[in-house]
Amino acid sequence: MAKRMLIHDQGNLSNVPKLNRNLKLMHPKDDTSIAEALAAKIRILCWVITHPPNHDKLPVAIKDTWGRKCTKLVFLSTEHDESIPTVKLPVREGRDYLWGKMKAAIHYIYKNHRQDADWFLRTDDDTYVIMENLRYLLSNYDHRKPLYLGCRFRSHTPQGYMSGGAGMVLSRDALDRVVKRGLRATNLCDEGDEGDDDDAKIGICLHRVGVKAVDTRDSEQRGRFWPFSPQDHVVPYTDPDFWYWRYTYYPSQYGVDCCSDYSISFHYQSPADMYTMEFLIYKLRPFGIQYSSGRLPKILKNSKNLTNITNWKTT
C-alpha cells in the first residue's frame, strides 16, 4: 500500500491557518437547541492524558475542536505547562509507568473535580470525541449507578475491560467506588506504578468493586467507541489473527456498516485529523438531503426552548 502523502506535518500546528483554529462549529442557521439542552443536563468532565513532547500539538487541537464541548476539560501530564494548561502528576514519565499515571489522574480528578460533573471521560491526547453523541448515549443511564462505558475487549475479567485509546467513561458512582474501595485497598487494584496496560488494570479494579461494563452498541448492534481511526474501521485489516478481532467483545461488521451512525470516538488522530473531522462532521453536507429527526431522549421530554421537534419521537 502506498504511503499517504502529507502536505503538512500532521504534528505541527504552525501551518494551521488562524481562521481554522477558530473554526465555528455550526452553520448560522443550524438548530442546536437539542444538543445544547443535553449539554446542560448531562455534565461531562473530560480528562485527557498527555505528555510533554505533545503539549504544543495534540492538546491544542483538542482545545480547538471537540474539547470545547466538554463541561470541563482537564489535561494531565508529568510536567506543568501553563500554555495549555496541564496538571503535573507525581509519577515518572514513559509508557512503563502508564498505570501509575492512570491512578494519579483518578485521584486528582476525584479530589479536585468530583462535584464538577456527573460523568468522567478519560481519553488519550490522540482521541477524537463527538460529544453530542456521547451525551445522547449517556441520556439513557443514571450516573448514580456504578457504570463503565467504552470499547469493550474480552480478557482479564468476566466482563472484559474498555480500550484506553477509544476512551472510557465512568459514572460518578464508579469514580467513587474505584477511589474509595479500590485504590485505597491492598487487594483490589495493582499497588505498583509500572505497566503500560493501564486500561486492563483499571478494568480489573472496576470489576472488583462492582462497576458494570455497559454494552454501548446501538439498536443495530454497531459499536460507538473505536480504538482506531475511521478509515481503519471502514476499511479494516481483516486478518482473523489480528489482535483486534481476537479481543473485541462483540462481533463487528466490515465496511461502512462497521460503525454506529452515532459513533462517539476514534483513536490515533493527529492534530490535522482532528481539524478534518471537525470539518467533515459539522460543516460538510450533501445538498438536497434532509435528515430524519429520530428519537428525543426522555431526559428532554419536558424541556423548554426546543425548536423544530415536531417529527421527533420520545425514547
Kindly give the confidence (pLDDT) of every residue in the chain, 315 residues in length, as a single tens digit, with 9 standing for 90 and above.
344 444 445 555 555 554 455 556 667 778 888 999 999 999 999 999 999 999 999 999 999 999 999 999 999 999 999 999 999 999 988 888 898 899 999 999 999 999 999 999 999 999 999 999 999 999 999 999 999 999 999 989 999 999 999 999 999 999 999 999 988 877 888 888 777 888 999 999 999 999 999 999 999 999 999 999 999 999 988 888 888 898 999 988 888 889 999 999 999 999 999 999 999 999 998 999 887 777 888 888 877 778 766 666 765
pLDDT at 100: 87
Predicted TM-score (pTM) of this structure: 0.91
β partners of residue 75 = 48, 86
Q: How far apart are CA 103 and CA 313, in angstroms?
A: 42
Q: Calculate ∠ Cα 130-270-229, nearest 5°.
A: 60
pLDDT at 6: 45
Contacts of 180 (CB under 8 A, 6+ apart): none
Residue 218's SS3 state is coil
Q: With both helix axes pointing from N to C terminus, report the angle between 98-113 and 198-208 in degrees, rounded to the nearest 10.
A: 50
- Region for residue 145 given its phi and psi (left: phi exceeds 0; alpha: psi -120 to 50; beta: otherwise): beta
pLDDT at 5: 40
| Type of residue at 161 | Y
pLDDT at 24: 60
DSSP codes of every residue in 102-168 = HHHHHHHHHHHHGGG-SEEEEEETT-EE-HHHHHHHHTTS-TTS-EEEE-EESSSSTT-EE-STT-E
Domain range list for the chain? 32-284
Q: Considering the domain 32-284 in this protein, what is its CATH number?
A: 3.90.550
Q: How far apart are CA 125 and CA 11, in angstroms?
A: 12
C-alpha cell at 146: 456504578
